[in-house]
Amino acid sequence: MTDLAKTMRPAGTAGVAFMRGLRSFALLRESGAGMVGVGLISFWVIIAILTPLIAPFDPNATLQPFAKPGTAYAQGGTFWLGTDQLGRDILSRIMWGSRTVLFYAPVATASAYLVGILMGLAAGYYRGRADTVLSFVANVILSFPVLVLYILVITTIGASGINIVIAITFASAPGIMRIVRGLVLDLRNRDYVAAAQTRGESSWYIMLVEILPNARGPLIVDACLRLGYVIITIGVLGFLGLGLPPPDPDWGGMINEARPLALAFPYMTVFPCIAISSLILGFNMLADGLREISLRD
């Protein structure tokens, strides 16, 4: 493998990164949980991509209220998962909803990571006063029960896609910062950092080019787990009526709208719940598989 990496090097760092990715994937294939995770995530990604082509109905069209799963529609087609109280096809809404969650969850997680990594690098590398201030801010935010924080932020700034991203960044960045800070405190004493300092590289070059790539292992596992949490958060906010504004389909919102009817028409809430749980399970199992292989080498 090391020989292969050496021969790849002239192709540039992109080539090396690609080979590394391929190698981790080959390792991941040995982890059963990891492969189930990859399978579940791929399933939803494919659904999300193909939705415009394969969704049987318009997700917002009111067709036939309270149709049970498997009912045939008079004008052709079948409601495989039934329709809701407004007569919208549940299968189509779940399919379109997968696009919503697979867009907002990675965007919100990436945004939280951007802020968290910058805070963590600064706190761990500069230490001293910067560290004290950043760590204190992080502690204060983390002292809130997380859903209380989300409710306070969302009811203050309003419920919308961009505000959900802001709220998730605000609440998750401190946790990411703590992890990054811990890793940086360990890595900043390595020889290659000292070498870069002697070369006269700038602090941010050292943090971003020398330290950050070497901290990626634990961060990738954490990112997978966090994606799962972010999906839960988006679901919970939708469920509490603080999510994306209707009528566009969103899994949490679907459960919220059908909640008063859940005792009489369980299928309206059960199917979106299966969808969201399976996607979260996918990310958690992938994280588990990644942790397994990272412990191995």
- Summarize as ranges the residues that interact with another protein (CB under 8 A): 33, 136, 139-140, 143-148, 151-152, 155-156, 228, 232, 235-236, 239-241, 252, 255, 259, 262-263, 266, 269-270, 273-274, 276-277, 280-281, 284-285, 288
Closest approach of another protein to the CB of residue 125, in Å? 24
For residues 220, 222, 225, 229, the Cα torsion angle rounded to the nearest 10 degrees is: -120
CB of 217 to another protein, least distance (A): 18
Gap between the Cα atoms of 59 and 247, Å rounded? 9
The neighbour count for residue 165, using CB atoms within 10 Å, is 20
Contacts of 132 (CB under 8 A, 6+ apart): none
Nearer to another protein, 44 or 57 (CB): 44
Under 8 Å between Cβ of 101 and 251: yes
Least spacing, CB of residue 80 vs another protein, in Å: 18
Q: How far is the CB of 243 from another protein (least distance, A)?
A: 12
Cβ 289 to another protein, closest distance in Å?
11
Q: Which two tokens stand for residue 270?
A: 């059960």
Give the nearest distance from C-beta 116 to another protein in angstroms.
Answer: 19
Cβ distance to another protein smaller for residue 74 or 263: 263
162: left (phi over 0), alpha (psi -120 to 50) or beta: alpha
Q: How far apart are CA 218 and CA 293, in angstroms?
A: 11
Of residues 116 and 228, the one with the C-beta less far from another protein:
228
Question: Do the bridges between strand 78-79 and strand 71-72 make them parallel or antiparallel, or are there none, so unpaired?
Answer: antiparallel
Choose between 8 and 141: whose C-beta lies nearer to another protein: 141
Q: Which is nearer to another protein, 13 or 139 (CB)?
A: 139
Identity of the residue, 117 or 286, whose beta carbon is nearer to another protein in the bound complex:
286
Q: Quote the DSSP letter at residue 248.
A: S
The C-alpha atoms of residue 268 and residue 251 are separated, in whole angstroms, by 11
H or E stretch at 64: none
